[in-house]
Structure 1
C-alpha cells in the first residue's frame, strides 16, 4: 500500500491472499498511529484532506532538499505539497471572500 509501489488493497489482497477487510483494518490502524496512506490507487489524488493537511504540517519547516526526499518516500511531488499548502492557507479565508463577493 505504501509508496513507491502504492498497490491497491484489491490487488494486494489478490497477490498476498489477505482479505480486503484485513487490509482495510491494518490501514486504519496505521492511520491511527499517524501514518499517511492514500485511499486509492491514484497516488496523491487518493490522499484524504486530513492526510494532505498532515503532510503540509510535516513539511512546513523543510528546505527544498528535505522536501524532495519527503516527497520521494511518499510518492508525491513538491508541487503537490505546495498546492495543498496554498489550499490550507485559503481555507480560512472563505468567510472573507464570500463577504467581499456579497458587497
Structure 2
C-alpha cells in the first residue's frame, strides 16, 4: 500500500480543482483510486486547509469551461444533471458556457 505525504495529497487535490475535470476522470488520468482521491478531496477541502473550494466554476479558465462543454456535448439532460451534481455545477452554467462558445465562434 502506497503512502503519500500531506503535501502531495494537497497538491493533487489542488490540481484536480484547477483541472475542471470530474473526480472520476481525474482519478483515472492520475492513476489514483477514486475512493482514495475522494477521501483526499474531503480532507483537504475543509475550511482552514491550504486547499479550499476557491476554485469555483466562476473562476475557471475559458479552457476549463470549454472542456466541460466538450465533455457534456453528447449527454442527455439526465446525464448532464448527474454530471453537474458530481462536479458541483448547475446544468444552466454548462448551457450558458455552450452558448458563449457558439456566440464567440460566430463573431
TM range (shorter): 0.5 to 0.7
Structure 2: 5+ residue stretches without partners:
27-52
Superposition CA RMSD, Å:
3.3
Shift in Å at residue 92 of structure 1? Answer: 1.3
Please give the TM-score of this superposition, normalised by the length of structure 1. 0.55
What are the within-5 Å matches in structure 2 for residues 1-103 of structure 1? Answer: 18=7, 23=11, 27=15, 31=19, 35=26, 41=54, 43-94=56-107
Flag the structure with larger Rg: 1
Please give the TM-score of this superposition, normalised by the length of structure 2. 0.53
CA contact (8 A) 1:43 1:76 kept: no
CA contact (8 A) 1:68 1:78 kept: yes
SS at match of 2:74: coil
Distance 1:70 1:46, change over 3 A: same
How many residues align structurally?
A: 71
